[in-house]
């Protein structure tokens, strides 16, 4: 007989975590409709059933120098979140990604005897392998999105389970590009370029102008090229639209980035989950990214990156598969040079075949995250 009336505290600090959290909440409620969810998230988690302590909007920042500016406010807010969760006496705490936010909270809650699951392993394989030891001590279980990750925790006495990636589960292996174009009202016999400069404000400011200018150059070289973009935030959509108008570029904007990537023959995008989504949508891409000079200087000075690549398609592949252009190298000339070959159908088909193979590796035939959490709870 299943136990009812359980409470799960859950925190997702970013949009990507909000999507994962919503998927997890929905899955758990199907298994046990009596579970109550409280915590921090976005609109998707709230719609799925989360009772909000506060919105994750305050935590949607990135980079060392960016965080420092908001640190006092963030620390005060984090303290209040811990107090609210403690008062609710949850059966389990789940921190989704956002380690800088979740790890300190997990540490405090674990001292109170609350069981801890961390969902989405930090990139220990790319940055700091010794971090696996700390995470293993901090958590009772880590749910990983990639099949190669659990081994790092098991080597140091931790517990981790590969649960598959929800995006890989939710996106079909074969994408009908022409149908996807038709659904967005695009001409299905003409190529489409997606511009996805990022969801964070600092990413938009760093990437949008140069992405738009690059698209303008490609449009001149190939007048049939259709340009599209997406963002769930109306204010950020307006910002992208404003930059496009200033550059006299015709750009159609949508709410759904997945629909945009399915309809696109190639994409210019920021690093992050969106690069993985492009791979799953079988969309050849160029990844461009800029962080603050201070953050980049620290990363380079202390040799914090262990891998020569940083985008998820390349990490999953174990080698360079999609072009990455970082920092001062990210200019119109370099981006255009890498994008142009992707207009070739033969090159597109080669990448689509490779993306399909990688997609299959992210599908877990055993148990998904909700099933693992249910078992952990003893339901």
Mapped to the 3 state alphabet, what secondary structure does the chain carry? CCCCCCEEEEEECCHHHHHHHHHHHHHHHHHCCCCEEEEEECHHHHHHCEEEEEEHHHHCCCCHHHHHHHHHHHHHHHHHHHHHHHHHCCCEEEEECCHHHHHHHHHHHHHCCCCEEEECCCCCCCCCCCHHHHHHHHCCEEEECCCCCHHHHHCCCCCEEECCCHHHHHCCCCCCHHHHHHHCCCCCCCCEEEEECCCCHHHHHHHHHHHHHHHHHHHHHCCCCEEEEECCCHHHHHHHHHHHHHCCCCCEEECCHHHHHHHCCEEEECCCHHHHHHHHCCCCEEEEECCCHHHHHHHHHCCCCCCCCCCHHHHHHCCCCCCEEEHHHCCHHHHHHHHHHHHCHHHHHHHHHHHHHHHHHCCCCCCCHHHHHHHHHCC
Condensed to tens digits (0 to 9), the pLDDT of residues 119-171 reads 999 888 766 677 899 999 999 999 999 998 999 899 999 999 999 998 899 89
* Residue 143, token pair as written in the block: 């749910």
pLDDT at 2: 41
What distance in Å separates the CA atoms of residue 241 and residue 260, rounded to the nearest whole number?
16
Rounded CA separation 130/158 (Å)? 12
- What are the tens digits of pLDDT across the range 281-336? 999 999 999 876 666 666 665 555 667 888 999 999 989 999 999 988 999 999 99
Residues 6 or more apart whose CB falls under 8 angstroms from that of 29 comprise: 35, 48, 49
Q: Domains in the chain, please, with CATH?
A: 7-164+364-377 (3.40.50.2000), 177-361 (3.40.50.2000)
Q: What are the contacts of 61-70 at 24+ separation with CB within 8 A?
A: 61/200, 61/201, 61/202, 62/200, 62/202, 62/203, 62/291, 63/202, 63/291, 63/292, 63/294, 63/295, 64/292, 64/294, 64/295, 64/298, 65/292, 65/294, 65/295, 66/202, 66/292, 66/295, 67/100
Q: What is the pLDDT along the chain (379 residues), one digit of tens a residue?
A: 344 589 999 999 888 789 899 999 999 999 999 999 999 999 999 999 999 999 987 776 555 555 667 778 788 889 999 999 999 999 999 999 989 889 999 999 999 999 999 999 988 876 667 789 999 999 999 999 999 899 989 999 999 999 999 889 989 999 999 999 999 999 999 999 999 998 888 899 999 999 999 999 999 999 999 999 999 889 999 999 999 999 999 999 999 999 999 999 999 999 888 999 999 999 999 999 987 666 666 666 555 566 788 899 999 998 999 999 998 899 999 999 999 999 999 999 999 999 999 999 999 878 899 999 999 998 6
pTM: 0.79
Sign of CA dihedral 316, 318, 324, 327: positive
């Amino acid at each position: 007989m299943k136990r009812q009336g359980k409470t799960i505290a859950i925190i997702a600090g970013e949009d990507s975590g909000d999507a994962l959290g919503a998927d997890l909440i929905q899955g758990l409620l199907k298994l046990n409709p009596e579970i109550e969810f409280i915590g921090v998230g976005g609109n998707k988690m709230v719609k799925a059933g989360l009772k909000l302590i506060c919105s994750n909007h305050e935590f949607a920042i990135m980079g060392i120098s960016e965080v420092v500016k908001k640190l006092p406010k963030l620390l005060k807010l984090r303290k209040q979140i811990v107090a609210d969760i403690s008062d609710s006496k949850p059966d389990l705490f789940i921190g989704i990604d956002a380690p800088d936010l979740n790890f300190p909270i997990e540490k405090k809650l674990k001292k109170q005897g609350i069981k801890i699951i961390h969902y989405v392993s930090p990139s220990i394989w790319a940055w700091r392998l010794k971090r696996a030891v700390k995470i293993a001590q901090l958590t009772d279980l880590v749910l990983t999105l990639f099949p190669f990750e659990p081994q790092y925790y098991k080597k140091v006495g931790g517990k981790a389970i590969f649960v598959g990636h929800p995006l890989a589960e939710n996106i079909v292996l074969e994408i009908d590009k022409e149908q996807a174009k038709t659904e967005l009202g695009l001409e299905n016999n003409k190529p489409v370029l997606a511009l996805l400069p990022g969801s964070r404000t600092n990413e938009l400011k760093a990437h949008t102008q140069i992405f738009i200018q690059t698209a303008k150059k490609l449009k001149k070289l190939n007048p049939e090229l259709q340009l599209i973009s997406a963002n769930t935030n109306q204010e950020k959509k307006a910002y992208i639209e404003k930059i496009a108008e200033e550059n006299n570029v015709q750009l159609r904007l949508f709410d759904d980035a997945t629909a945009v990537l399915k309809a696109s023959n190639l994409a210019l995008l920021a690093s992050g989950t969106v690069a993985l989504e492009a791979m799953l949508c079988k969309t050849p891409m160029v990844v461009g990214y800029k962080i603050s000079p201070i953050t980049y200087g620290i990363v380079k000075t202390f040799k914090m990156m262990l891998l020569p690549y940083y985008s998820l398609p390349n990490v999953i592949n174990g080698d360079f598969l999609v072009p990455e252009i970082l920092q001062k190298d990210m200019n119109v000339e370099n981006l255009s040079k890498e994008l142009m070959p992707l207009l070739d159908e033969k090159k597109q088909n080669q990448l689509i075949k490779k993306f399909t193979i990688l997609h299959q590796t992210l599908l877990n035939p055993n148990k998904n995250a909700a099933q693992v959490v249910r078992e952990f709870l003893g339901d």
